[in-house]
């Protein structure tokens, strides 16, 4: 499944973040050409035909998102780059910020030309010290040498970039919470509609895109839409960064065609299971994606492929678990996270995640009740679709998946007061 390393060829390099190194590789040539010579509609059309899908989680078609920005309005258009990378199991964007900050800036410039935007914010996860330092250094270098500022590369096109250290909460990665946080308020998601394309940052039209999404854009204009599409699958152009963690021999980031199957990703790229252990379960798209069993891994690692097994590619963070994992304990780790990260705005999410956490804790303590497994599933189902933002769904889907696919482990724990895997109870 060989694919060119569009984004990851320089991950780990000591020099790739410097402007000179990027220029030696033809960096900013595309931004210069597009800004000077290409009409905005043509850029959007090219991104649409390339079938670039958003890499932040939802896989929304990027060209279509850009086309929603009103043309010729009297309000400024903003670009907000989502570099919050809070989805557990996901660790790709920080590598782009650290090793290819200029590639991201170039993608942002091209997006700016396409949607008529002259001011962009990069909202970076607060804990990312080195990525923030590298990004700030890249922005400063780009300003000094005229790749950003009032007259980008002598084209007359103005473009300003601000690096913003994030608020330190998972919810701030949700696009409207991110906008609230950028405006200096608590990261509470907004009701949609209106969508950010019409009413976004400071009430103005705003594009919100993930780091990986934007870093791919210069490759689309350089290669052309058809060649970019061919690197992927029919429904999704380009390469994809997969993050693999957990019980594998070689965890890491792999840039591949989305035609790769999850099984090949684990066995051929991530080195197979650690210590020859038997694979038990895979969370395929960041923590929120419904869990898969070993017999479901011949699935294509694309947005459409994962839908076919009722899961999702999400942020392409695979968490691989071997047979030593007690799924009730794993569920506890997951639900603790969502209960902690729920912003509390919507009752079903705020109360539901708390109830699910308390039920799992009761089971782990050996006091599970016969109805607890069914109750977990029922509470999860009552959260889905009832909240302002998808954090509620993100908390409910893993619970529904775990209970459906590993029901015997939950029922065993409730009945016997101990884990089917370790033979022990866990909580106090
Ligand atoms: C709770 C929650 C957290 C999210 N966290 C992130 C994140 O850390 N990074 C990201 O790019 N998208 C995140 N998203 C998705 C964004 O809301 C949005 O869909 C994305 O930034 C759009 O960019 P894209 O179209 O390029 O994927 C999150 C969504 C939710 C519901």
pLDDT digits 0-9 by tens, 90-116:
999 999 999 999 999 999 999 999 999
pLDDT beyond 80 at 341: yes
- Are 91 and 152 in the same domain? yes
Q: Report the candidate in 293, 412, 362 with the shortest Cα–Cα distance to residue 423.
A: 412
b (16+ CB within 10 A) / e for 159-184: bbbebbebbebbbbbbbbbbbbbbee
Q: Is residue 427 part of a domain?
A: no
Q: Which domain holds residue 113?
A: 19-230
Q: Given this model, what pLDDT does residue 428 score?
A: 44
Q: Do 351 and 259 fall into the same domain? A: no
Let me know whether 213 and 336 are in one domain.
no
Atom from ligand 1 closest to the CA of residue 177: 17
Task: Kindly report the protein residue whose alpha carbon is nearest to atom 18 of ligand 1.
Answer: 175
Same domain? For 24 and 43 the reply is yes
The CB of 195 under 6 Å from ligand 1? The reply is no
Contacts of 191 (CB under 8 A, 6+ apart): 388
pLDDT of residue 425: 79
Binding site membership of 209 for ligand 1 (Cβ less than 6 Å): yes
Count of domains for the chain? 3
* pLDDT, mean of residues 22-39: 98
Q: Has residue 7 got a pLDDT over 60? A: yes
Calculate how far, in angstroms, residue 80's C-alpha sits from the geometric centre of ligand 1: 11
Q: Do residues 166 and 140 share a domain?
A: yes
Q: Is the pLDDT of residue 427 over 70?
A: no
Burial level of 308, CB count in 10 A (0-12/13-18/19+)? exposed
On whether residue 421 sits in a domain, the answer given is: no
Report the atom number in ligand 1 closest to the C-alpha of 65: 25
Q: Is the CB of 181 under 6 A from ligand 1?
A: no
pLDDT(154) > 70: yes
Average pLDDT on 339-346 reads 97
- Domain final residue, candidates 273, 292, 322: 322
Q: Whose CA is nearest to atom 9 of ligand 1?
A: 85
Whether the pLDDT of residue 27 is over 60: the answer is yes
Same domain, 134 and 283: no
Whether residues 196 and 51 share a domain: the answer is yes
* 390 lies in some domain: yes
**pTM for the full predicted model:** 0.97
When pLDDT is averaged across residues 84-91 and rounded to a whole number, the result is 97
pLDDT, averaged across the chain: 97
Atom of ligand 1 nearest to the CA of 60: 25
| Same domain flag for 48 and 181 | yes
Residue 1, pLDDT above cutoff 70: no
Asked if the model's pLDDT at residue 48 lies above 90, the reply is yes
- Please indicate whether residue 61, judged by its CB atom, sits closer than 6 Å to ligand 1: no
Residue 363 has pLDDT above 80, yes or no: yes
The alpha carbon of 56 and the centre of ligand 1 are apart by a number of angstroms equal to 4
Q: Is 85 in the pocket of ligand 1 (CB under 6 A)?
A: yes
- CA 393 to centroid of ligand 1, rounded, Å: 14
Cα–Cα–Cα angle for 191, 192, 194, rounded to 5 degrees: 115
Same domain, 412 and 281: no
């Amino acid at each position: 499944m060989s694919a060119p390393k569009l984004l990851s060829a320089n991950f780990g390099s000591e020099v790739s973040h410097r402007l000179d190194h990027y220029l030696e590789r033809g960096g900013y040539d595309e931004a210069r050409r597009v800004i000077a010579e290409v009409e905005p509609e043509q850029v959007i059309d090219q991104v649409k035909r390339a079938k670039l899908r958003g890499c932040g989680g939802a896989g929304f078609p990027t060209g279509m998102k850009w086309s929603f920005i009103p043309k010729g309005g009297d309000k400024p258009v903003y670009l907000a780059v989502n570099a919050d990378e809070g989805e557990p199991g996901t660790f790709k964007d920080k590598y782009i910020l650290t090793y290819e900050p200029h590639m991201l800036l170039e993608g942002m410039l091209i997006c700016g030309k396409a949607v008529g935007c002259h001011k962009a914010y990069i909202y970076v996860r607060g804990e990312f010290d080195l990525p923030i330092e590298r990004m700030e250094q890249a922005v400063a270098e780009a300003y000094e040498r005229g790749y950003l500022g009032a007259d980008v590369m002598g084209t007359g096109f103005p473009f300003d970039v601000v690096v913003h250290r994030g608020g330190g909460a998972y919810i701030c990665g949700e696009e409207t919470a991110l906008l609230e946080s950028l405006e200096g308020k608590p990261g509470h998601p907004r009701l949609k509609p209106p969508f950010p394309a019409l009413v976004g940052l400071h009430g103005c039209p705003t594009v919100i895109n993930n780091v990986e999404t934007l870093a791919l854009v210069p490759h689309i204009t350089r290669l052309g839409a058809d060649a970019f599409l061919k690197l992927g699958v029919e429904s999704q152009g380009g390469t994809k960064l997969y993050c693999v963690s957990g019980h594998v021999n070689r965890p890491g980031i792999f840039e591949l065609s989305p035609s790769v199957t999850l099984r090949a990703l684990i066995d051929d790229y991530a080195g197979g299971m650690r210590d020859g252990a038997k694979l038990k379960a895979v969370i395929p798209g960041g923590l929120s994606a419904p869990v898969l069993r070993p017999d479901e891994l011949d699935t294509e690692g694309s947005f459409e492929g994962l839908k076919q097994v009722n899961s999702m590619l999400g942020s392409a963070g695979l968490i691989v678990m071997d047979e030593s994992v007690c799924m009730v304990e794993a569920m506890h780790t997951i639900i603790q996270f969502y209960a902690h990260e729920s912003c509390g705005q919507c009752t079903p999410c705020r109360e539901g995640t708390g109830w699910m956490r308390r039920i799992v804790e009761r089971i782990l303590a050996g006091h599970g009740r016969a109805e607890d497994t069914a109750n977990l599933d029922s509470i999860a189902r009552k959260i889905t679709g009832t909240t302002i933002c998808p954090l509620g769904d993100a908390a409910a889907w893993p619970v529904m998946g775990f209970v459906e696919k590993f029901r015997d482990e939950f029922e065993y724990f409730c009945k016997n007061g101990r884990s089917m895997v370790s033979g022990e109870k866990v909580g106090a």
